[in-house]
Amino acid sequence: MIRPAKVGDLPEILQLIKDLAIYEKAEHEVLATVEELERTLFGEVPKVFAHVVDVDGKVVGIAIWFLNYSTWLGKHGIYLEDLYVQPEFRGQGFGLALLKELARICVERGYPRFQWWVLDWNSPAIEFYSSHGAVAMDEWTVHRITGEALKKLGS
């Protein structure tokens, strides 16, 4: 079953985030804690949201998302930060069900865009997304600034 996350899901959500980071060869980059997730997902005015795959009371998949904005369209959209389903539960339609739920939210709220990033080496994910109508935005290059460079720029 796909449902919005609850506070009690946070330890399982954090483990799934770590599992995704291991898959993406970036485990060392996960600094999130259950407490931090609680503040961001369930604080007074949440800016980040999560849906989970619940199988017999166990969280086996996540979709973590937030609103983005298109100045050209003058409307919000959904940015999918993480989509992950435990390997033993893949192939059962859970990933697609998570995508469909977020697409449903877009349609219901009048958001014209639903987007995300995928690593260029992740062929299974690229094929999965493409098979459901996603189009690679390969004319765009992602830029990021962190750490000391961010501190320098912000000072």
Q: What is the pLDDT of residues 80-96, one digit of tens each?
A: 999 999 999 999 999 99
Cα–Cα distance measured from residue 110 to residue 3, given in angstroms and rounded to the nearest whole number: 21
pTM for the structure as a whole:
0.92
Distant-in-sequence, close-in-space partners of 119: CB < 8 Å, separation ≥ 6: 24, 125
φ, ψ for residue 66, nearest 5 deg: -150, 170
The residue ranges of the chain whose pLDDT is under 70 are none
The residue with tokens 């930060």 is 81
Considering the domain 2-153 in this protein, what is its CATH number? 3.40.630.30
Q: What is the pLDDT of residue 138?
A: 86
Q: What is the pLDDT of residue 123?
A: 94
Residue 38, CA distances (Å) to 14, 115, 117, 123 in order: 10, 24, 24, 32
Catalytic positions, written as ranges: 129
Domain boundaries, the chain: 2-153
Q: What is the pLDDT of residue 67?
A: 98
